[in-house]
Structure 1
Amino acid sequence: MRPAAHAEPFPGLDAALKELRCSLEGIVDSSSLARALHSSDASNYRVTPEIVIMPRHRDDAITAVTVAQNHGIPITARGGGTSCARNAIGPGMIIDFSRFMSRIISIDPASRSAVVEPGVILSDLQKAAAPYGMRFGPDPSTATRCTIGGMIGNNACGPHGLSYGRTADNVRSMTWLTGTGEIITAGAGPEALDAVPGLRNFVSENMAVLRTDFGRFGRQISG
C-alpha cells in the first residue's frame, strides 16, 4: 500500500497565501528560511509557522488578520522574539511587527507621553525620550532587542520595575486589533469597561472573584 499523502495542516493555506500576496504591501514569506527563523524565540520551544507576515502599516495587519480568520489559520503576533515562554512562536501565521512597524510617532514632554508603533525597540524609545528627561519605566535585560508591543503582551518589568512599575503601569491607552478583526482603543480606568465589548458584563459577573483573588501578588496580569 502507498503511504497516505501528507495532509496540509490548514486546508485554506494556499488560498490565503495567494490572497495575501495580492493584497499586502508588506512581506508575505512562506519560504523554509523565513519559517525556520520564526520557529523559535528565547525559550526552549520550537514551533514552525506556515506563513510569516511583515506588515508595512496597520492596514496590512488588518488585512492579514482578516485573511487568516477567513481561512481558519491561527495567528501569533511577534516583536523581537525575546520571550522566554514561547509567546512569540506558533503554528499558522506569524505577524512580525519589528521589520516595518517600528516608528516613534511622537513624544510630548508636556504630557510626558509618547505614541509608538508596536515594533519600536525599547532602547530606541529610551534614547528618543532622554533629551526630554523622560524614560519608559520598565527596563528588561533585553532592552536592546525587545519591542514595546511584546512588552505589553508580556507585561514586562525588569530590575527597575519596583521603582517605575511594570509595562501595564506605564501604558495610558492602546489601540489594538482583535483576532476577530475589531479595532479597539481603550485606556485604564472605568472608561475601558465600555470600550472593550463584553468587559463590563464580565466584571459584573465575576466581581466576587476579582475582589478577593485578583491582585494578591504583584504581577498577576499579562497583556
Structure 2
Amino acid sequence: MADPHTIAAPDDIDVDGFRRALHAEFSGTVSFGPGARALYTADASNYRHVPLAVALPRTTDDIIAAVAAARAHGVPLTPRGGGTSIAGNAIGSGLVIDTSRHLTAIENLDPAARTAQVQPGLILDDLHAAAAPHGLTFGPDPSTHSRCTLGGMIGNNACGAHSVAWGTTADNVESLDVLLYDGTRMTVGATSAEELDRRAALPTPEGRIYAALRELTATYMADLRTNMPQLSRRVSGYALDRLLPEHGGHIARALTGTEGSCVTVLGATVRLAEAPPARALVVLGYPDAPSAADAVPELLDHGPLTVEGLNHRLVAGLDRPGARSGVALPKGRAWLMVEMGGAG
C-alpha cells in the first residue's frame, strides 16, 4: 500500500487494487476504459493529460469514497466541473472526479437570507434560473455561464463581466463543505478569533488544522496585510489575506481559487445579489486605449454593473472579408461598454 502522504507516478500505482477499492464503495460510474479516458484528456485549454480513471459520483459519499481510494493507492486527484478551464485546470494523470453529471442540485434557496446551498456540479445558469423569480442572481458570471459549474467557479475564483458590481466568486462564498485528502471533512466559513481559538483547542484533525491556520496567520500577519495586491479581480494564487481577522478569518474565501490543491469541495453556500429590474448599455468612444483607461475611475463612481473595454484592433478583426460586426460604434479607436442597472 502506498504512503498516503505521497503521490505515486502512474507507473507505480496498483491499478487493479485501485479499481477494486473504487468499485467496493462507489455507487456512481467508474471507468478505466480508453474511451472515457480519452474524453477526459482535454478541457478548454491546449493541454492534454490522459487520466488513469474517470469517476462520476452520484452522491457526496461517492466523492468521499473516491478520495479514500485515491489516498490509499497514492493516486493524484483532479476535481472537474464543466471542463471550461483554459489553463489545464480540469485535467490530470490520476483520477478525474466529474461532479457535473449527477451532483447538480440546489439543496436550498433562501430568498430572505439571499443564499443558496448548492452541490458542486450545479451549472451557473441553472442557479440563475432558480434565483430569478425572487429578483436575485449570483453575481459572478463568466462567459461560460451556460456550462460552467459552481464547483469549478470556486476552484478558480471565477469573475465575469459583472464582478465590477458583485465581486469575484470568493466575495460571494459564505461557507464550504470540504474534504481533505486525509479524509477530514469540515464546514468552513468566516471564523472569529474566539471561534478560532475554540476550534484550535479541539484534539481532532480539524482542531490541528485550525491551530495551524491560526499560527500561519499570526506569523505572517504583517506580510499578509502589506504584500498582497489590493486588486478587485485578484484571482490567481492563494488568497491568504482572507484569513486576517479584519476579513472575518474567512477560510472558505481563502480556499476559493486554490484549484482543488487543498481540499475537494463537496458543497457550498453562496450569497445571492439583488438583480436590477432594468439595465441599459452605453458604449463610449475614446481616441485611444490609455484615454479609455483613464476614464474608468470616474465611471466607477456611478456604480456600473459592467465596464468592459476593446480597441480598434479587435474591431478591425470583425471587418475582414466574410465577417460583419453590424454594430455602429461611436467615433474613436477605443471603446468602453458600460452597463447600468436601475429600478426601471
**Superposed CA offset, 1:129-176 (max 9, x none):** 100111001010000010000000100010000111100011111111
1:1-223 map, 5 Å: 9-190=11-192, 193=196, 194=199, 196-197=209-210, 198-218=212-232, 219-220=234-235, 221=239, 222-223=257-258
Identity of aligned residues (%): 48
Aligned-residue offset at 1:50: 0.5
**Superposed CA offset, 1:5-45 (max 9, x none):** xx962322210111211221001111111111111111110
**Superposed CA offset, 1:44-92 (max 9, x none):** 1001100101111011100110110010101010000000111111111
Aligned partner of residue 9 in structure 1, secondary structure = helix
Q: Which moved more, 1:196-205 or 1:121-130?
A: 196-205
Aligned-residue offset at 1:189: 4.5
- Does the 8 Å CA contact 1:12/1:72 hold for their aligned counterparts? no
Distance 1:8 1:125, change over 3 A: closer
Aligned-residue offset at 1:208: 2.0
Aligned-residue offset at 1:188: 2.7
Residue 204 of structure 1 aligns with an amino acid whose one-letter code is A
**Structure 2: stretches of 5+ with no match in the other structure:** 1-8, 200-205, 240-256, 259-344
- Does the 8 Å CA contact 2:10/2:75 hold for their aligned counterparts? no
More strand by share: 2
Aligned-residue offset at 1:182: 1.1
Aligned partner of residue 175 in structure 1, secondary structure = strand
Partner of 1:4: none
Distance 1:80 1:10, change over 3 A: farther
After TM superposition, the score normalised by the length of structure 1 is 0.92
Residue 214 of structure 1 aligns with an amino acid whose one-letter code is M
C-alpha distance in structure 1 between counterparts of 2:186 and 2:105, whole Å: 20
- Does the 8 Å CA contact 1:79/1:147 hold for their aligned counterparts? yes
Distance 1:104 1:10, change over 3 A: farther
- Count of residues in correspondence between the two structures: 217
**Structure 1: stretches of 5+ with no match in the other structure:** 1-6
- Does the 8 Å CA contact 1:13/1:73 hold for their aligned counterparts? no
Aligned partner of residue 90 in structure 1, secondary structure = coil
Distance 1:8 1:157, change over 3 A: closer
C-alpha distance in structure 2 between counterparts of 1:49 and 1:128, whole Å: 34
In angstroms, what is the RMSD of aligned CA positions? 1.7
Question: Between Structure 1 and Structure 2, whose CA radius of gyration is higher?
Answer: 2
Aligned-residue offset at 1:204: 1.1
**Superposed CA offset, 1:115-138 (max 9, x none):** 110000000000011001110010
C-alpha distance in structure 1 between counterparts of 2:185 and 2:39, whole Å: 29
C-alpha distance in structure 2 between counterparts of 1:153 and 1:8, whole Å: 24
